[in-house]
Chain A
Amino acid sequence: MKLTGAQVLIECLKEQKVDLIFGYPGGAVLPIYDALYNTRGITHILTAHEQGAAHAADGYARATGKPGVVLVTSGPGATNTVTGIATAYMDSVPLVIFTGQVAASLLGRDSFQEVDIAGITMPITKHNYIVKDAARLPHIIREAFDIATSGRPGPVVVDMPKDVQTALIEYKPDDGRPMEWKTRRKWYEEADNNPENIEKAVELINKCTSPVILAGGGINISGANRELREFAEKIKAPVCVSLMGMGAFPGDHPYFLGMVGMHGTRYANYAVSNSDCLIAVGARFSDRVISKVEAFAPKARIIHIDIDPAEINKNVTAHIPICGDVKELLSGLADRVAERDESGWNSQIQEWKQDHPLKYRGKSALSPQYVIEKLYELTEGKAIITTEVGQNQMWAAQYYKYSEPRTFLTSGGLGAMGYGLGASIGAAMGRPDRRVVNIAGDGSFKMNSTELATVSKYQVPIVQLVLNNHTLGMVRQWQDLFFQGRYSQSTLGPDVDFLKLADAYGIKGFSISSNQEVERVLKEALSLNEPVLVECDISPDEKVYPMVAPGAAIDNLID
């Protein structure tokens, strides 16, 4: 069957069971948009900006576990997705980004809207392609999806020159043959899979006295939350999580320690610092977790379980490395370790928990932490929370209790302000059965608030919470603590009337200025099945505590 390159793309998307794509048309993708015009079964969401499309596809992918698909034009269309691609790369999110490109004959001539997006995205993609031979297009698209979704997931860019989109090529449906790239890497993946190390890990776990589990985003990606829970309950080990690990372990479980690291709980940081056996699963020991390397888990033998061999010994030396899918490995480990009884270690943890709970001062009329606690209560922990970056993100991690994977979507590695609103759109579209709330600060919300246009256009029923302190709160916090309160460029002032902004987009707006109003307003906002913006007027002096100063040991906290 002869089809144009553009039609082949559509057929291949159907093969991959893609039913939703996010994008923005332009000159170099017109043939694809034309092919999309009569296509049934694939919904295209038109965002306000390509960055929003990339974040929305990312939110969709994180919320559903399916790959997110982005379609944009060449040049600025492609460069606008770069922050979204980098976010997905840092947090291991499967995205396939199709970018239009000028015709092959115009390549390299600085043609109108020509940019070397493959060159630009090389360090922030798992792989990328420029399709030069149209006949290879079906293979490349299949391979792109395969690469994006297998092993440690990540974004893949496919740059499609315009003449490839219009070329007539032979299309044969996928025969399901294994991809060569995967077959030939087997030796590498297997080389690192040392069964002896599993034995060693079992032995170490059986004889240690103070085990702690550090769960990362890998648990959420591979859906190993049940295995993790069984394992932790069998060995009676407390579980702390990285920011990406939120949802890997029930937030209301007695063994849950919350987040570890820079804004971790005191008890999580104490537990790691005093443990004699740290079991890190699907976590990559980011600098925000370990802070001072020499002082991190100084008494512990470290078992590091991860699918990516390059993470082993990268930031922290692992005494026992185990490579592979954490879901399989955890259930294997859980079968083999001996059941333990709760011990003095568990009572020590409980004591730390009682002595050093997360606390906020409650001096101001409206506490952001209280807003998030109420949000947790009212949604019964079942909402999908997306966040922006900064104080809002940390409070959302500390005060909402996540109980299952794919319910806390945040730009962890890249820390991209402007991520949350786009992500909430994608998440709401992927999981229409869930309430989706984007927790934002006023600074990060303003970065991509243009996406309210998308929210309005598609009537995406998200709740947009804006914790408005009229400042860049986290920047101000650092300036307070480390720069003698010199608030250089971090004061935003009352520059935007958010309720009027919402109104301009036809979105219902609410405002909260005291703790007493929180429950009533949130209840009402959550009860509406339509887009809502809730502005919370908070004090600029609210801080995220506890905090580990940069470069300090994690048991040395400020609060």
Chain B
Amino acid sequence: MKYVLGVLVDNHPGVLSKVSGLFSRRGFNIDSLAVGETENPEVSRITIVVDGDEYIVDQLTKQLNKLINVIKVSVIGEDSISRELALIKVRATPVTRNQIVDIVNIFRAKVVDVNRDSIIVEITGDSKKIAALEDMLKDFGILELVRTGTISIDRGMKMVKYIRPNKEEGLYYGENVL
């Protein structure tokens, strides 16, 4: 089964390698990993999709929590929004161009570049939607495909958030931390 974890970490160089190093040495298989800054510039959020069972998720959560730079780990539930983005370069001739654009429109994807031999399509959605579009475009010839990892957010007031306890005291966590 696929699980999605939202992990808040210190926004410092090197933290990502500590987190990703943990996966390989503990033998966890991850499907995707996406990282970026949050509304708080001191904090980054890593979204991890992991294929496993409850044991794996429990161990993964606990081992992640042991890393000093990890602030919070949450399992993102069913009631959530997940997205990834893909850019797909498809072979396009004057004959096939319109057929491709039709498919792109049905998927509510976007054509972001056109030239004589190809089209670049941008699509956001969950993995299934992207896979479906990919499947449809295969017949025309996919020249290049690049996609991000999944990012996920809970609906409503359930949040993965960290409120620093000592903000007013000006105690901050050093940027020297790896």
Contact = CB atoms under 8 A, between A and B. Distances in A.
A37 interface: no
A129 B176 contact: yes
A184 to B, nearest CB: 6
B168 interface: no
A200 interface: no
A129 B68 CA distance: 11
A123 B14 contact: no
B58 interface: yes
Interface stretch (A59-67, A132-140, A389-397): A132-140
A482 interface: no
A450 to B, nearest CB: 31
Interface residues of B, number: 28
Contacts of A122: 17-18, 21
B63 to A, nearest CB: 5
B43 to A, nearest CB: 11
B59 interface: yes
A181 B65 contact: no
A251 B112 CA distance: 76
A383 interface: no
Interface stretch (A307-315, A433-441, A514-522): A307-315
Contact of B178 (A126, A129, A310): A129
B164 A184 contact: yes
Interface residues of A, number: 30
A312 B61 CA distance: 12
B176 A310 contact: no
Contacts, number: 66
A180 B21 contact: no
Given A180-B166, A183-B166, A310 B174 contact: no
B175 A127 contact: no
Given A147-B68, A310-B66, A128 B178 contact: yes
Interface in B51-110: 55, 58-59, 62-63, 65-68, 71
A130 B68 contact: no
B128 interface: no
Interface in A136-193: 136, 139-140, 143, 147, 177, 180-181, 183-185, 188
B165 A123 contact: no
Contacts of B176: 129-133, 136, 140
Nearest to B67: A127
B162 A184 contact: yes
Contacts of B18: 122
A310 B59 contact: yes
A313 B58 contact: yes
Interface of A: 118-119, 122-123, 126-133, 136, 139-140, 143, 147, 177, 180-181, 183-185, 188, 308-310, 312-314
Given A130-B14, A185-B65, 4 more contacts: A133-B175, A136-B175, A313-B58, A314-B59
22 contacts: A118-B14, A118-B178, A119-B17, A122-B17, A127-B67, A129-B176, A129-B177, A131-B176, A132-B176, A133-B174, A136-B175, A140-B174, A140-B177, A143-B174, A180-B164, A180-B166, A180-B173, A181-B68, A181-B173, A310-B66, A313-B59, A314-B59
The 5 closest A-B pairs by CB, nearest first: A310-B62, A127-B68, A136-B174, A136-B176, A183-B165
